Chains A and B, each alone.
Chain A
Amino acid sequence: MMKTLQRILMVEDEPDIQAVARVALEAVGGFTVEMCSSGREALEQVGKCQPDLILMDVMMPGLDGPSTLKLLRENPETAKYPVIFMTAKVQSHEVSRYKDIGGLGVIAKPFDPMTLAASVRTLWEQNHARVG
């Protein structure tokens, strides 16, 4: 039976994107969302938050998304958390790159607030269907 996606940790430094994504994920998607403003904050909060999924911006000051994922994977306690990246850069070779480093997939920016939750759910279900 597929694990249900309920709790998302979103890592995004831009407050305007945080605000609209929260509406998109909570009000439209029905998810519970915890928000972090940086990769460093995500590393500190993830153990407390215990999300089903991390939705991570790629370009952030300090630790960017891929660097944050690398650190998550290096720690046995945080390696388990699946990550979906969000970025404006979505050419196919870039999507492959983000998957090669361990992401489930990529959601393009700008995103439609009314369909973001569905896009997240689709990537989640595709990955869990593969894992079986």
Chain B
Amino acid sequence: MPESGDRVQDALAKLKLKFAGDLPAKVARVEAQTAAFLAEPWKEQVCSETYRLIHSLAGSAGTYGHSELGSTARVAEGLLKGSLESRRPLGEPEKKELSAVLAKMRELAAAAAAG
């Protein structure tokens, strides 16, 4: 049986508040995973895990209403996807782009958590 509109909105609001508060930690985890990926010789499993982590964050950010963070994460996702499909490490220009994208994600996450 569907619930009343107010109760639904309350439930969603609570989830959104928690998600926003958790965003800086989620982005920090992405940054740590990406740093680990870039620090070592290219490995498919690490690349795949990094790609999936970013993909998950991009999807959940969008679902929770953080569309700019979601679309920014999609750029990072695209870079990792390219590396995964080509089975090659990121080149220097791509690493620079990824670094800038992650910095933007960090900034957006901090703003979201601050409300």
Residues of A within 8 A of B (CB): 13-14, 16-17, 19-20, 23, 26-30, 59, 61, 88, 109-111, 113-114
Contacts and interface: CB of A to CB of B under 8 A. Distances in A.
B52 A59 contact: yes
Contact of B60 (A14, A26, A28, A61): A14
> Among the interface residues A17, A26, A61, A113, which one has the most CB atoms of the partner chain B within 10 A?
A113
B64 interface: yes
Contact of A30 (B1, B61, B63): B1
Nearest to A30: B2
B28 to A, nearest CB: 16
Sorting the interface of chain B by its residue count into under 10, 10 to 19, 20 to 34 or 35 or more gives 20 to 34
Interface in B51-89: 52, 55-56, 58-64, 67, 70, 74
Task: Say what secondary structure dominates the interface of chain A.
Answer: loop
> Among the interface residues A16, A26, A113, which one has the most CB atoms of the partner chain B within 10 A?
A16
B25 interface: no
A13 B11 CA distance: 21
A113 B56 contact: no
Nearest to A110: B62
Given A59-B52, A61-B52, A17 B59 contact: yes
A88 B12 contact: no
A18 B64 CA distance: 12
B42 interface: no
A56 B74 CA distance: 21
20 contacts: A14-B59, A16-B15, A16-B60, A16-B64, A17-B59, A19-B15, A20-B12, A20-B15, A20-B63, A23-B15, A27-B7, A27-B11, A61-B49, A88-B55, A110-B61, A110-B63, A110-B67, A110-B70, A111-B63, A113-B63
Contacts of A109: 59, 62-63
A26 B3 CA distance: 8
A16 B1 CA distance: 23
> Among the interface residues A19, A30, A61, which one has the most CB atoms of the partner chain B within 10 A?
A19
